Structure 1
Amino acid sequence: MLSEQSAATVRATLPAVGGALGEITERFYAGMFEARPELLRDLFNRGNQAAGTQREALAGSIAAFATHLLAHPDTRPDAMLGRIAHKHASLGITPDQYAIVHEHLFAAIAEVLGEAVTPEVAAAWEEVYWLMANALVAIEKRLYEEQGGPGWREWEVVERVTETADVVSFRLRPADGGPVRDFRPGQYVSVRFALDDGARQIRQYSLSGAPGPDERQFSVKRVHEDDGTPEGEVSGHLHARVRAGDVLELSEAYGDLVLDAEPGTPLLLASAGIGVTPMTAMLAHLAGHGHDAPVTVVHGDRSPADHALRVDHEAYAAKLPDAAVHLFYEQDAPAGASTGYVDLTDVPVAAGTRAYLCGPLPFMRRVREQLLGKGVAPADIHYEVFGPDLWLAKQG
């Protein structure tokens, strides 16, 4: 809970601080990476830093947290905190790193806002920061305890499967031959390995299946340079160099977009592009556990040839007793599929549906609006963002 004095100060300064957060976070990252270059080399996603998306997401999360504290002083934005904590846990973030962030973030605030940062203002925003940081540390501690602590484990690639021209699936088992922890459909793992320049970069990939009891599978879309987005150095490395017999370092499974398939609850799984990966794992789970309530499967892609995991996607849906599949392709749509972007206008949505969305942000915004228009409760619409959560950033 934010103290009354700090709440008044934060309320008065939120417009100024919020308006400057973009510049503040840019200065923050520049200063931190200059002082601690190993963080950019071995922890932060260099592609997201180059594109500016990580800065935008950080600014949005701070603004959203402060706004929530002012509007709901007796509660925490647990959904937002949980999503961030899962990302942090998959990266192996430790409590001491919050002190590093604090040092450089508040140096950036002072640099950007200058004399406006009085001792009172600084104290109020420090209270906001540590309320958020300590809440995240507590959640991450619990997640680490559930997963046996932070750390990395070596996994051997046992099979590489080309799904499309730009998507490859990797099937792996632990190199040490030890037991494999269960994961919940919808979760992801972090993958870490050294690049040619010595950097140990980390990326998260949704688990698209479990081919066997001691195996996991994740699928990777190669990121091409486009509209200011740099070429994906990690996805490119995985596509070009990793083959069966190679060993990768993986985290345990994390992620809060997990399937909650209560008996009798209608479900809608909507995806676009590589967002199909967690949905395929969810469908596999539903088919394997005999889910008999209605399941609506919606997917959009450029073409059937670009639809990764298409065979599995449709096969798992076909095993369900009450499933309807709606496919949308921008081109080459076969019989039974629609041409164009995903549109739920003519898609029946049962009362009480719980929806899961994964794909590009414009797609998820559009589908969410249509679901709300069809009477789906906002609390029943769940989403996953690959990379920094720019949905959250736009809410800040």
Structure 2
Amino acid sequence: MLSTRSVPVVRATLPVVGAALERITDRFYRRLFEECPELLRDLFNRGNQANGSQQQALAGSIAAFAGMLLERPDDRPDELLLRIAHKHASLGVTPDQYRLVHRHLFAAIAEVLGKDTVTPEVVAAWDEVYWLMANALIAVEARLYRDAGATGADTWRRMVIAERRTETRDTVSLTLRPADDRPLAAFRPGQYVSVQAQLPGGARQIRQYSLSGAPGRAPWRITVKRVAADGAPNGEVSHWLHAHARPGVALTVSAPFGDLVLPPGDGPLLLASAGIGCTPMLSMLDHLARTEPSRRVTVVHADRAPATHAHRDELHALVARLPRATLHLWYDDPDDAEPEALPGRVDVSALDLPDGVTAYLCGPLPFMRAVRDGLLHRGVPARSIHYEVFGPDLWLGQK
């Protein structure tokens, strides 16, 4: 809870700080990487830095957290911050790094807004906001590390590629086995792992990939779509994996993390995905087929065409194992390979959704926004709609 002394200061300055947050975060990252270039080389996604999405995500999370402190002071921040904490844990973020971030972030605020605006009173109030957010994240991340059986923030282990399978022209799946005799960590359906890639030039870039099999089933499997390289460093890890990930190659992989997971109970579900967003849904469906086959499930997937739909045959097979599941497909360019599919974009109004449905969305942000808007229009409560973003969460605070 924000102190009574800081509330009026944050409320008065939030419009000014909020309007400048993207400039502040841009300056912050420049300062941070000037002092610690290894963070850009080995921790932060260079593609997201180059296109500005990481800066936007950081700005959005700070604004959303400050707004929550003002408008809902009695709410715990854990739910708002859980997605960020899972991503940080998958990267091995440590408490010391929050102090480093604090120093450069507040220097950036002063540089962008100027000393006339950033008075000692303003600094003290926003310092309180920062540490409320940072300490909440540190606490959640400590719990995640503990649950993963990690020593500190070290959740990494060596895995060996056991099999490589071409799913579409631009998508391959990789099955991973431990390089040692230790058992694989447990995971919940829908979670992901981080994978380190040792790139030319020595950079160690990290990306997240959903585990697309059922929990408890070995080996693990991830699916990698080759991202269009519209200029370095976009797609550098997916291109490296497509070129070098072969059976016998060792990869450094994190423990499983991620908060888009199936809830307990027997209520109806909607699993809606687009493109490579199908991967966490495969894990959920596999788990349901093994443990709760009578649960009512509506499955929706959108793609460019049947030929670009990764794991299409597997999706059909999983849905067929669930007696009360229905599958609805939309393609930009449908063909005879899927005669029942509909053309164009997903139309939520065409779905037969039961009362009390809980929705899980994964795919490009425009797809998820459109589906979420359609579900809200149909009366599905916002609390019952969950999502996963591959990359910086630009949706946080904008829903």
Please tell me the residue identity of whatever aligns with 2:169: A
Aligned equivalent of 1:130: 131
Structure 1 stretches of at least 4 aligned residues deviating more than 4 Å after TM superposition: none
Match of 1:294 among 290, 293, 296: 296
**Deviation, structure 1 residue 213:** 3.5
**Cα distance in 1 between the residues matched to 2:85 and 2:332:** 36
**Cα distance in 2 between the residues matched to 1:12 and 1:118:** 13
Q: Is the 8 A contact 1:51 1:229 kept in 2?
A: no
Please tell me the residue identity of whatever aligns with 1:222: R
Instruction: Confirm or deny that 1:197 pairs with 2:201.
Output: yes
Q: Is the 8 A contact 1:59 1:393 kept in 2?
A: no
Instruction: Confirm or deny that 1:349 pairs with 2:353.
Output: yes
Aligned equivalent of 2:111: 111
Q: Is the 8 A contact 2:215 2:287 kept in 1?
A: no
The change in CA–CA distance for 1:42 and 1:386 in structure 2 (over 3 A counts) is: same
Aligned equivalent of 1:381: 385
Cα shift readout 1:5-48 (whole Å, capped 9, x = no counterpart): 11110000000000000100000000100011011011000000
Between 1:79-88 and 1:203-212, the stretch displaced more is: 203-212
Aligned equivalent of 1:175: 179
Which sections of structure 1, spanning at least 5 residues, go unmatched? none
Please tell me the residue identity of whatever aligns with 1:241: H
Q: Is the 8 A contact 1:224 1:230 kept in 2?
A: no
Instruction: Confirm or deny that 1:47 pairs with 2:67.
Output: no
**Cα distance in 2 between the residues matched to 1:16 and 1:332:** 48
Q: How does 1:273-284 map to 2 (within 5 A)?
A: 273-284=275-286
Please tell me the residue identity of whatever aligns with 2:351: V
**Cα distance in 2 between the residues matched to 1:343 and 1:386:** 23
**Deviation, structure 1 residue 229:** 8.5
Please tell me the residue identity of whatever aligns with 1:315: A
RMSD, aligned α-carbons: 1.4
**Deviation, structure 1 residue 267:** 0.6
Q: How does 1:1-396 map to 2 (within 5 A)?
A: 1-115=1-115, 116-149=117-150, 150-151=153-154, 152-210=156-214, 213-226=217-230, 231-263=234-266, 265-333=267-335, 334-392=338-396, 394=398
- Structure 2 residue matching 1:4: 3-state secondary structure: coil
Cα shift readout 1:153-203 (whole Å, capped 9, x = no counterpart): 000000001110111110011000211121101100000131111011111
Cα shift readout 1:300-355 (whole Å, capped 9, x = no counterpart): 00000000011111111110010110000111343111011111221111111011
- Structure 1 residue matching 2:13: 3-state secondary structure: helix
Cα shift readout 1:368-387 (whole Å, capped 9, x = no counterpart): 11111222121111000000
**Cα distance in 1 between the residues matched to 2:346 and 2:92:** 36
Please tell me the residue identity of whatever aligns with 1:139: V
- Structure 2 residue matching 1:158: 3-state secondary structure: strand
**Deviation, structure 1 residue 230:** 5.0
**Deviation, structure 1 residue 261:** 4.5
Please tell me the residue identity of whatever aligns with 2:235: G
Which sections of structure 2, spanning at least 5 residues, go unmatched? none
**Cα distance in 2 between the residues matched to 1:30 and 1:170:** 35
Cα shift readout 1:58-89 (whole Å, capped 9, x = no counterpart): 00000000000000112233222111000000
Q: Is the 8 A contact 1:58 1:393 kept in 2?
A: no
Please tell me the residue identity of whatever aligns with 2:253: L
**Deviation, structure 1 residue 2:** 0.6
**Cα distance in 2 between the residues matched to 1:373 and 1:74:** 29
- Structure 2 residue matching 1:66: 3-state secondary structure: helix
Q: Is the 8 A contact 1:174 1:214 kept in 2?
A: no
**Cα distance in 2 between the residues matched to 1:275 and 1:80:** 22
**Cα distance in 2 between the residues matched to 1:77 and 1:327:** 37
Q: Is the 8 A contact 1:158 1:244 kept in 2?
A: yes
Q: Is the 8 A contact 1:85 1:140 kept in 2?
A: yes
**Deviation, structure 1 residue 211:** 9.4
The change in CA–CA distance for 1:261 and 1:304 in structure 2 (over 3 A counts) is: farther
- Structure 1 residue matching 2:212: 3-state secondary structure: strand
Cα shift readout 1:263-300 (whole Å, capped 9, x = no counterpart): 2x111100000000000111000111133121100000
Q: Is the 8 A contact 2:160 2:250 kept in 1?
A: yes
Identity of aligned residues (%): 62
Cα shift readout 1:219-242 (whole Å, capped 9, x = no counterpart): 01111034x785300000000111
- Structure 2 residue matching 1:332: 3-state secondary structure: coil
Please tell me the residue identity of whatever aligns with 1:249: T
Please tell me the residue identity of whatever aligns with 1:25: T
**Cα distance in 2 between the residues matched to 1:36 and 1:200:** 14
Q: Is the 8 A contact 1:56 1:393 kept in 2?
A: no
- Structure 1 residue matching 2:66: 3-state secondary structure: helix
What is the aligned residue count?
Answer: 393
- Structure 2 residue matching 1:392: 3-state secondary structure: coil
Q: Is the 8 A contact 1:68 1:76 kept in 2?
A: no
Please tell me the residue identity of whatever aligns with 1:196: P
**Cα distance in 1 between the residues matched to 2:378 and 2:40:** 44
